[in-house]
Structure 1
């Protein structure tokens, strides 16, 4: 009897240990871009605005959005940390959407946009939550790689450029949004990279994510 109880206890302990061992793995950084192809990504109305060169996603062309549709978390994220290396060319405008959903055309109706813009005529600069909590000081320079990090936990959204805090925003329980931005609220969803206009060129590389507990 004692041996049976001991064996059962060891089995139960092993099961619990395996679950706890799996949890940190789920929170490790996972790559969303293989550096070679756009596998796991799908563009909207102008797919030619996105291509891969030298391990980078080159965004250059008419308006389009490149949505992550890959296998990680079945492309549905709630609490997470997303990190990308970014380079803007002079006059470029782009953005990184989160908690969004794929659509065939138009500006994404769902989710938040983190602005990517260091010198475009639009004064809203990199790291701001577009039209919700904007940033008007460029935290990086054109033609230089910088790291953009987005962290979402519950109702709190934080953005960082090269580890410098840019935005720290907690969404109210009843956020007020204009009629054309009713979907700009926290929920869950995927990510998208924005091609804003033919005059903009932005490059992204080393796109990775970790799920937060």
Structure 2
């Protein structure tokens, strides 16, 4: 039975007997031929046909780097981490600058996270020494249970063109579309441990092999894709039913919240960005809010936004336009705000008007990993499920969760500025809205996936 299940799993991910051709071993089981230690003083040795990395105090991240660089490939290996506190990773398509760090060298680029801690982000993608987290595994809870502590785990990384897919023990973990690197080194990381921990913890890698022949991505369903190419739909997104709400060139699919045509002023398109043009900071008094022509019930919405200093805006949903409100149209809001410079951040209750909050109802968690500086692009996400549960993400980190129409939600509404609106936020479907608050804010990569009812 075990053999049948194992064979079925291999075939499901395109690595059955027909796919064995083209594989090359990167480790002979006896020596470190083909590898070079760089950037730190952690130890690498060989035990029982495995490369063993050993932590050392007071040294930076240390890497065992391949001699060669790789572009499109499938990488497989088995990994075991000795304890639950030692973080590690596998670099791929990465750079090495031998002159950096005063000649000690620096590795930068994509990293497959190895994380045995309770956070459980093994299989997530980190950008070492550059941008930080690209795919935190809070974006895919189903994969967070795949890692087996204290045991060998099967790692699989697929890279083709701009697309990277990762797997943990056969379970799809992350899908990233990014063009910063399309080739580079593979490396095994021993993470720095500072001076406060005991050294000598071990990470084991074995059965390391790569295939660069006729690389094909495994078909993956129901795994969120992080796509860093502006206004682009990748092949994984298309196959999963995503569609663009902004094509980067036209106002197609959008209209004024107060009319049947797009506003004649107050909005513009420049360099693939949909911009709210600055006026006097008044709410919906220049071009006014814009809404999608189409209404949505259950959906997954993602959007990138960039704030100017002191700016205010928001993304609303389940907007019915029945209220005929004088200011901004009525609907639940994902708050977009410069918390430091805009006074609205200090209003409301307990911070419920700050960045990524459910405006005037629930304050977002202030997780420092989620927030990027004003002037940088941020990625917002609103996941509105069929059961009424709504989750707000900022740069891949979940910050707000609630259930529309629940007793808790109704109590929040009763104590808010929305108490006068009957059944606020409980519409079965509605428009998606981008708010004009009189400040310059840019949007791009606005995408939606409709969920089944």
Alpha-carbon offset, residue 118 of structure 1: 1.4
2:144 is aligned with 1:128 = no
Write out aligned runs for 1:46-61 (5 A): 46-61=40-55
Change in Cα spacing, 1:167 to 1:47, as seen in structure 2 (3 Å) is: same
- Residue 19 of structure 1 is matched in structure 2 by none
* Distance in 1 separating the partners of 2:182 and 2:165: 16
Q: Which has the larger Rg?
A: 2
Pick one of 88, 104, 110 that aligns with 2:81: 88
Q: Which has the higher contact order (CA 8 A, sep 6+)?
A: 1
2:197 is aligned with 1:160 = no
Alpha-carbon offset, residue 161 of structure 1: 1.0
Alpha-carbon offset, residue 201 of structure 1: 2.3
82-91 or 97-106: bigger deviation:
97-106
2:145 is aligned with 1:145 = no
Alpha-carbon offset, residue 146 of structure 1: 1.1
* Distance in 2 separating the partners of 1:134 and 1:124: 10
- Residue 23 of structure 2 is matched in structure 1 by 29
Change in Cα spacing, 1:56 to 1:103, as seen in structure 2 (3 Å) is: farther
2:100 is aligned with 1:76 = no
Question: Structure 1, residues 92-128: CA drift from partner, whole Å, max 9, x if none?
Answer: 211111111334446522x2011011127xx362100
* Distance in 2 separating the partners of 1:25 and 1:140: 25
Q: Retained in 2: the 8 A contact 1:81–1:150?
A: yes
2:184 is aligned with 1:195 = no
* Distance in 2 separating the partners of 1:57 and 1:102: 21
Alpha-carbon offset, residue 150 of structure 1: 0.1
Alpha-carbon offset, residue 25 of structure 1: 11
**Once superposed, which parts of structure 1, at least 4 consecutive aligned residues long, lie more than 6 Å away?**
none
Q: Retained in 1: the 8 A contact 2:39–2:106?
A: no
Q: How many residues align?
A: 170
* Distance in 1 separating the partners of 2:97 and 2:190: 14
Write out aligned runs for 1:114-125 (5 A): 114-119=112-117, 123=119, 125=121
* Distance in 2 separating the partners of 1:140 and 1:77: 26
Q: Retained in 2: the 8 A contact 1:124–1:134?
A: no
- Residue 181 of structure 1 is matched in structure 2 by none
* Distance in 2 separating the partners of 1:53 and 1:32: 16
Alpha-carbon offset, residue 48 of structure 1: 4.8
**TM-score with structure 1 length normalisation?**
0.72
* Distance in 1 separating the partners of 2:35 and 2:49: 15
195-204 or 49-58: bigger deviation:
195-204
* Distance in 2 separating the partners of 1:195 and 1:88: 11
Q: Retained in 2: the 8 A contact 1:153–1:212?
A: no
Consecutive unaligned residues in structure 2, runs of 5 or more: 1-17, 99-103, 127-132, 139-143, 194-198, 215-453
- Residue 65 of structure 1 is matched in structure 2 by 63
Alpha-carbon offset, residue 186 of structure 1: 2.4
* Distance in 2 separating the partners of 1:53 and 1:101: 28
The RMSD of aligned alpha carbons is 2.4
Question: Structure 1, residues 172-207: CA drift from partner, whole Å, max 9, x if none?
Answer: x6xxxxxxxxxxx22211101111035542110010
Alpha-carbon offset, residue 138 of structure 1: 4.8
